[in-house]
Amino acid sequence: MAEPQAAPVLQMAGIVKEFPGVRALSGVDFRLFPGEIHALLGENGAGKSTLIKVLTGVHSLDAGTVTLEGAAVRIASPSDAQQAGISTVYQEVNLCPNLSVAENIFIGREPRRAGRIQWKQLRAEAAELVTRLGLDLDVAAPVGSYPLAVQQLVAIVRAVSVGGTKVLILDEPTSSLDRDEVQELFRLMLRLKAEGVAILFVSHFLDQIYEVCDRMTVLRNGALVGEHLTSELDQVGLVKLMIGKDLDVLEELEEHHLRPAVGEPLLAAAGLGRAGGIAPFDLEIHTGEVVGLAGLLGSGRTELARLLFGADHADSGKITIAGTTSALREPNDAIGRGVAYCSENRKTEGLVPDLTVRENIILALQAARGWTRPVPVAQRDELVAKYIQALDIRPANPEAKVSALSGGNQQKVLLARWLITQPKLLILDEPTRGIDIGAKAEIQKLVVSLSEEGMSVVYVSAELEEVLRLSHTIGVLRDRRLVARITNGPEITAGRILETIASGAHDVQDTQDSSVRSAEPSGEH
């Protein structure tokens, strides 16, 4: 794609935004042309979110100008942004699940006559809009009855249904979607692009960016690194721009899985299962072994992990940890036997947002000691400082509110929380989802070194490459069943795993596919 002829619809120049003690954006320029999909890239903390929040009126800017269609504008609030034609869809879907698709699309803007909502007109308009955008939805059905991916599409439809949307911002819309769902999203994006909407797309998945984006802007440390056409910059070059250094860290991990798993059996699950969650499975984990769990979203990866931790009740089978067999009624029982679990939902199941980094880090250790035996202050501060340094948590301020940290750093706080308790088995559910490539590499490296020190790890990830790179053994899940256990080796490739996921090693009926997909919202959320 050559330089567009048209003038940019949006131009931001010299944007500066400071928070106390931190310069989040220092003189960033950014432009967006009509009818293009533009990726905004950078590590966590590079300033992507801040730039978006400035553009959408969540943050006020300290200096710089925003020009929309040639005229300077002031965007002081999200409603200003909406009126100016800038719509945003965030990572977390903000819809009312109990209301219908049509109601959600027009919420607050229902067509009225004499104060009364014109329901027929509302549905007709919603249906027309949905059809125009090439979606097949029943607009009268409650949003909650659709899978998360479809809800995301509804959120986008709502965003563009505001008359005169010129700029659509999609902030990590794909992070919880599977491959097919991402394709559906892309179809919608391309259709909107054809209608002349400028789309700002934020994603951590580089493949997706190369698939759908025309142009990209890279930020690093709050400054503009460059704007490039996607066709003119390859992935390696892009990553170099993003992290400012080469990718050696990732490459040196490549050979890890060739090391044979040695060690005694630590955990054995026999016929462990939970109706509606995961079919009974057998699994053995040895000390120092990394067991990767691969499968599509909703395949039962998370459910399996939660059973090993006692986060959910198993209704069949038994679990043996370090020689003793007894049911896990509560996470407590598992924690007492050296099992730790980092949930895939950092915000809802991991962090206590009100509390500081220090308090969040110390929480698991303190819970294990009980309320009567507080961790001595000196020991606590020493431990916290040690892990902040070891995991390179930024800002390295134990007093900072954990909710102010970027995603990658929040994940590290959760890791620190469990590492402090020195578990025997660490269960990581999607530890690298939604975090940047630098932090990702660090976490992967950490997993390798922990395993070398004798800690067992269960590693759940949607990214096959990641599972392949780290695991000694790979458990493949499909349709809420553990269908295969593969010993990792040089001959195992992502393609092979995909085949197993696609075909299923056991007697899995293919017709189950759709029913499992639609069961996702209740199962995963």
Partner 1 sequence: MTTTSTPTPSAPTTLWRKATAHQLFWPVAVLVALLLVNVPFTPGFFAIHLQDGHLYGSLVSIVLFGSPLILVALGMTLVIATGGIDLSVGAVVAISGALACLVVSKQADQGSVSGVLLGFALALAVSLVLGAWNGLLVARLGIQPIIATLILMVAGRGVAQLITDGQIITVNSSAYALIGGGYWLTLPFSIFVVTAVVALTMVLTRRTALGLLVEAVGGNAEASRLVGIRSRRIKIMVYMFCGLCAGIAGLMISSNVSAADGNNAGLWIELDAILAVVIGGTSLTGGRFHLGGTIIGALIIQTLTTTIYTIGVPTQTNLVFKAAVVIIVCLLQSPAFRAKVFRSGARKPSPVPAAPAPQIEVSQ
**Where are the alpha helices (H) located in 147-284, listed in sequence order?**
148-161, 179-194, 206-212, 235-243, 248-251
Whether residue 132 contacts residue 195, with contact meaning beta carbons closer than 8 Å, is answered with no
Structure tokens at 431: 């530890």
Burial of residue 187 (CB within 10 Å: 0-12, 13-18, 19+) is middle
Is 99 in a helix, a strand, or coil? coil
**Nearer to partner 1 among residue 135 and residue 384 (C-beta):** 384
Q: Which of 180, 195, 315, 354 binds partner 1 (CB under 8 A)?
A: 354
Max CA separation in the chain (angstroms): 75
Q: Decide: is 352 part of the binding site for partner 1 (CB under 8 A).
A: yes
**Nearer to partner 1 among residue 364 and residue 486 (C-beta):** 364
Question: What's the CA gap between 276 and 291, in Å, rounded?
Answer: 23
Question: What's the CA gap between 248 and 263, in Å, rounded?
Answer: 29
Q: Between 200 and 229, how does the x/- string for binding to partner 1 read (CB under 8 A)?
A: ---------------------xxx------
Of residues 373 through 392, those in contact with partner 1 by CB under 8 A are 373-375
**Where are the alpha helices (H) located in 453-511, listed in sequence order?**
464-470, 494-503
Q: How many residues bind partner 1 (CB under 8 A)?
A: 66
**Nearer to partner 1 among residue 216 and residue 361 (C-beta):** 361
The piece of 104-112, 280-288, 326-334, 482-490 that touches partner 1 (CB under 8 A) is 326-334
CB atoms near residue 436 (< 10 Å): 21
Tokens 């009740």 appear where? 313
Whether residue 311 contacts residue 460, with contact meaning beta carbons closer than 8 Å, is answered with no
Q: Which of 328, 335, 455, 476 binds partner 1 (CB under 8 A)?
A: 335
The piece of 78-86, 123-131, 240-248, 297-305 that touches partner 1 (CB under 8 A) is 78-86
Of residues 82 through 111, those in contact with partner 1 by CB under 8 A are 83-85
Q: Decide: is 68 part of the binding site for partner 1 (CB under 8 A).
A: yes
The piece of 249-257, 268-276, 278-286, 371-379 that touches partner 1 (CB under 8 A) is 371-379
The piece of 173-181, 317-325, 342-350, 453-461 that touches partner 1 (CB under 8 A) is 342-350
Q: Decide: is 27 part of the binding site for partner 1 (CB under 8 A).
A: no
Whether residue 392 contacts residue 415, with contact meaning beta carbons closer than 8 Å, is answered with no
**Nearer to partner 1 among residue 225 and residue 311 (C-beta):** 311
Question: What's the CA gap between 353 and 64, in Å, rounded?
Answer: 32
- What length is written for the chain? 525
Whether residue 263 contacts residue 286, with contact meaning beta carbons closer than 8 Å, is answered with yes
Facing residues of 321 across strands? 267, 324
CB of 311 to partner 1, least distance (A): 6
Q: How far is CA 71 from CA 12, 27, 39, 89, in A?
A: 11, 20, 24, 24
Q: Decide: is 465 part of the binding site for partner 1 (CB under 8 A).
A: no
Tokens 């010129």 appear where? 166
Q: Decide: is 512 part of the binding site for partner 1 (CB under 8 A).
A: no
CB of 260 to partner 1, least distance (A): 33
Q: Decide: is 184 part of the binding site for partner 1 (CB under 8 A).
A: no
Q: Decide: is 31 part of the binding site for partner 1 (CB under 8 A).
A: no
Of residues 403 through 422, those in contact with partner 1 by CB under 8 A are 417
Q: Decide: is 348 part of the binding site for partner 1 (CB under 8 A).
A: yes
Q: Which of 343, 411, 451, 500 binds partner 1 (CB under 8 A)?
A: 343
Q: Between 47 and 66, how does the x/- string for binding to partner 1 read (CB under 8 A)?
A: x------------xxxxxxx
Q: Decide: is 518 part of the binding site for partner 1 (CB under 8 A).
A: no
Provide the residue type at 296 as one letter. Answer: L
Provide the residue type at 247 as one letter. Answer: L
Q: How many Cα atoms are found within 13 Å in the side-chain-facing hemisphere of 33?
A: 18
For 188, phi and psi rounded to 5 degrees? -65, -40
Question: Which chain residues interact with partner 1 by CB under 8 A?
Answer: 16, 18, 20-24, 26, 45, 47, 60-66, 68, 71-77, 80, 83-85, 221-223, 309, 311, 330-332, 335-336, 341, 343, 348-355, 359, 362-364, 366-375, 394-395, 417
